[in-house]
Structure 1
Amino acid sequence: MIMESGAKAKTVKKYLGKGWMVDACGGHIDRLPAKKGEKGKNDAMWESSRDKLPEAPWTSDKSKKDKIKKIVQNAKLKDVEEIFIATDPDREGEFIAWRLSEVFTKAGFERQKRVIFNEITENSVLQSLKQNGEINYRMVDAAKVRMFMDRLIGWECANVSRRSGINSMGRVQTPTLGFIVEKELEREKHIPQKYHSVHFYSEEIKFNIRFHEKGEEGAWIDDSGKSPKHYPERTFDKDLAKESIEMLKKNKEIKLLSIKNSIKNRKAKPPFTTDTMLQSSNSYLGWSLAKTSSIASELYEKGHITYIRTDSTRTNKDSRDEMKKYILKKFGNEFIGEGAVGPDVKKQSVNVQDAHEAIRPTRPGIREIDEKNEDIKKLYRLIWSRFAGSQMSDSIREHRSIRARTKDFQKDISGNASWRIHAGWEEVFQEFLKKVPVRPPASELIVGATWKIDIDSNNPELVSEETKPPRRFSESSIVQEMKKAGIGRPSTYVSMVQKLQEKKYVENINGSLIPTENGRRLWLEVVPLYNNQSEEILYKIFSTEFTSMMESKLDNIANSDADSASVWHDFVFDFYEIHNKADMDSRNNPSSKQIKFLKDLLRNMSEKEQGKILEGRDIKSLTREEIGPIIDDAKTLSGPRKASKKQIDKIIETCEKLSLDLDEFLRDNGIEDLENLTGGRDGSASVLIGKLFDIRGNNPATENQIKAIRNISKYLEIEIEDAMAIVKTTTIEEINFSDASELIGKLKKMKKK
Structure 2
Amino acid sequence: VDDPRAFRHLIKKVKWFNEDIEFRVFRKEEIGGIREEVDRDREKIKRFLAGEEMPESKELLKPVLVVVESPNKARTIAGFFGKAVRRRVGEHELLETSTEDRYVMITASLGHVLDLNKEEGFHGVYMNGKPTPVYEVIEGKEKIVQSLRRMAIEAQEVLIATDPDTEGEKIGWDVGEILRAYNPNIKRMEFHEVTKKAILKALRESRDFNLNLVKAQVLRRVADRWVGFEFSKLLQSAFGKQWLSAGRVQTPVLGWIIEREKEYRQKVYRVVVTIDERGKLRVEWSFEKKEAAEEFYSRLSQIRVELKEQREELRNPPPPFSTDTMLKSASDAYRWSLPKTMSLAQTLFELGYITYHRTDSTRVSDYGIGIARQYIGEEFGEAYFHPRAWGEGGAHECIRPTRSIDPEELRTLFLSGQTEGLTREHLQLYELIFRRFMASQMKPVKLRVYRLGIQTSGGELELEVPAEVLEDGWNRLVTIDLYSPLIGVLDVSRKKQLLSQPKAYLYTHGELVQEMKKRGIGRPSTYASIVEKLLERGYVIENKGFLIPTKLGKEVYGYLQSREEVHEFLREEFTSRLEELMDRVEEGKEDYVDILNNLYRSIIEVDKKLEVV
Per the shorter chain, which TM-score range? 0.7 to 0.9
Equivalent position to 1:135, from 191, 194, 209? 209
Task: Give the secondary structure class of the aligned counterpart of 2:172.
Answer: helix
Establish whether residue 510 from structure 1 lines up as the match of residue 544 from structure 2.
Answer: yes
Task: Give the secondary structure class of the aligned counterpart of 2:104.
Answer: coil
Q: Determine the structure 2 residue equivalent to 1:388.
A: 438
Query: Which residue identity does 2:520 align to in structure 1?
Result: G
Give me the whole-angstrom Cα distance separating, in 2, the residues matched to 1:410 and 1:174. Answer: 44
Query: Which residue identity does 1:509 align to in structure 2?
Result: N
TM-fit CA distance, 1:194 = 4.4
TM-fit CA distance, 1:173 = 1.1
Query: Which residue identity does 1:202 align to in structure 2?
Result: E
**CA 1:193–1:383 in 2, change beyond 3 Å: closer, same or farther?**
closer
Q: Determine the structure 1 residue equivalent to 2:115.
A: 31
Give me the whole-angstrom Cα distance separating, in 2, the residues matched to 1:256 and 1:184. Answer: 36
Q: Determine the structure 2 residue equivalent to 1:356.
A: 396
Moved more, 479-488 or 356-365: 356-365
Query: Which residue identity does 2:438 align to in structure 1?
Result: A
On the 8 A contact 2:363/2:389 being kept in 1, the answer is no
Q: Determine the structure 2 residue equivalent to 1:571.
A: 599
Give me the whole-angstrom Cα distance separating, in 2, the residues matched to 1:547 and 1:450. Answer: 54
1:467-478 maps to which residues of 2 (within 5 A)?
Answer: 467-478=501-512
Give me the whole-angstrom Cα distance separating, in 2, the residues matched to 1:207 and 1:144. Answer: 52
TM-fit CA distance, 1:450 = 9.3
Give me the whole-angstrom Cα distance separating, in 1, the residues matched to 2:297 and 2:398. Answer: 52
Q: Number of residue pairs matched?
A: 514
What TM-score does the superposition give when structure 2 sets the normalisation length? 0.75
Task: Give the secondary structure class of the aligned counterpart of 1:106.
Answer: coil
1:203-214 maps to which residues of 2 (within 5 A)?
Answer: 206=281
TM-fit CA distance, 1:144 = 1.4
On the 8 A contact 1:487/1:544 being kept in 2, the answer is yes
Query: Which residue identity does 2:601 align to in structure 1?
Result: F
Q: Determine the structure 2 residue equivalent to 1:171.
A: 248
Task: Give the secondary structure class of the aligned counterpart of 1:20.
Answer: strand
TM-fit CA distance, 1:100 = 1.2
Residue by residue over 1:199-243, the C-alpha shift from the partner in whole angstroms, topping out at 9 and shown as x without a partner, is 464377747699xxxxxxxxx65599xxxxxx9xx66244424xx
TM-fit CA distance, 1:482 = 1.0
On the 8 A contact 2:248/2:571 being kept in 1, the answer is no
Task: Give the secondary structure class of the aligned counterpart of 2:447.
Answer: strand
Q: Determine the structure 1 residue equivalent to 2:132.
A: 54
Give me the whole-angstrom Cα distance separating, in 2, the residues matched to 1:255 and 1:154. Answer: 59
Q: Which has the higher strand share?
A: 2
Q: Determine the structure 2 residue equivalent to 1:561.
A: 589
Query: Which residue identity does 2:109 align to in structure 1?
Result: C
Task: Give the secondary structure class of the aligned counterpart of 1:463.
Answer: strand
1:154-553 maps to which residues of 2 (within 5 A)?
Answer: 154-165=228-239, 167-188=244-265, 190=266, 192-194=267-269, 196-199=271-274, 201-202=276-277, 206=281, 221-222=287-288, 236-241=295-300, 244=301, 258-337=307-386, 339=388, 341=390, 345=391, 355-364=395-404, 366=406, 368-369=409-410, 370-372=413-415, 373-401=423-451, 418-430=467-479, 436=482, 460-530=494-564, 540-553=568-581
Task: Give the secondary structure class of the aligned counterpart of 2:114.
Answer: coil
Task: Give the secondary structure class of the aligned counterpart of 2:318.
Answer: coil
In terms of Rg, which structure is larger? 1
Q: Determine the structure 1 residue equivalent to 2:200.
A: 126
**CA 1:25–1:420 in 2, change beyond 3 Å: closer, same or farther?**
same
Moved more, 318-327 or 491-500: 318-327
On the 8 A contact 1:120/1:300 being kept in 2, the answer is yes
1:551-700 maps to which residues of 2 (within 5 A)?
Answer: 551-581=579-609, 583-584=610-611
Give me the whole-angstrom Cα distance separating, in 2, the residues matched to 1:100 and 1:207. Answer: 58
Residue by residue over 1:353-399, the C-alpha shift from the partner in whole angstroms, topping out at 9 and shown as x without a partner, is x8411111112465543335322222112111111111122223213
Residue by residue over 1:589-635, the C-alpha shift from the partner in whole angstroms, topping out at 9 and shown as x without a partner, is xxxxxxxxxxxxxxxxxxxxxxxxxxxxxxxxxxxxxxxxxxxxxxx
Query: Which residue identity does 2:373 align to in structure 1?
Result: K
Uncovered stretches (5+) of structure 1, i.e. residues with no partner: 211-219, 225-230, 249-253, 349-353, 534-539, 588-753
Uncovered stretches (5+) of structure 2, i.e. residues with no partner: 1-65, 82-96, 416-422
RMSD: 3.4
Residue by residue over 1:142-178, the C-alpha shift from the partner in whole angstroms, topping out at 9 and shown as x without a partner, is 1112111111112211222223316211121111112
Give me the whole-angstrom Cα distance separating, in 1, the residues matched to 2:198 and 2:580. Answer: 30
Query: Which residue identity does 2:207 align to in structure 1?
Result: G
Residue by residue over 1:502-551, the C-alpha shift from the partner in whole angstroms, topping out at 9 and shown as x without a partner, is 00111112222121122112222223424687xxxxxx211111101111
Give me the whole-angstrom Cα distance separating, in 2, the residues matched to 1:487 and 1:469. Answer: 25
Task: Give the secondary structure class of the aligned counterpart of 2:548.
Answer: strand
**CA 1:48–1:476 in 2, change beyond 3 Å: closer, same or farther?**
same
Task: Give the secondary structure class of the aligned counterpart of 1:48.
Answer: strand
Identity between Structure 1 and Structure 2 (%) = 29
1:696-711 maps to which residues of 2 (within 5 A)?
Answer: none
Establish whether residue 14 from structure 1 lines up as the match of residue 14 from structure 2.
Answer: no
Give me the whole-angstrom Cα distance separating, in 2, the residues matched to 1:328 and 1:132. Answer: 35
On the 8 A contact 1:269/1:340 being kept in 2, the answer is no
Establish whether residue 114 from structure 1 lines up as the match of residue 169 from structure 2.
Answer: no
Task: Give the secondary structure class of the aligned counterpart of 1:363.
Answer: coil
Query: Which residue identity does 1:468 align to in structure 2?
Result: P
TM-fit CA distance, 1:130 = 1.3
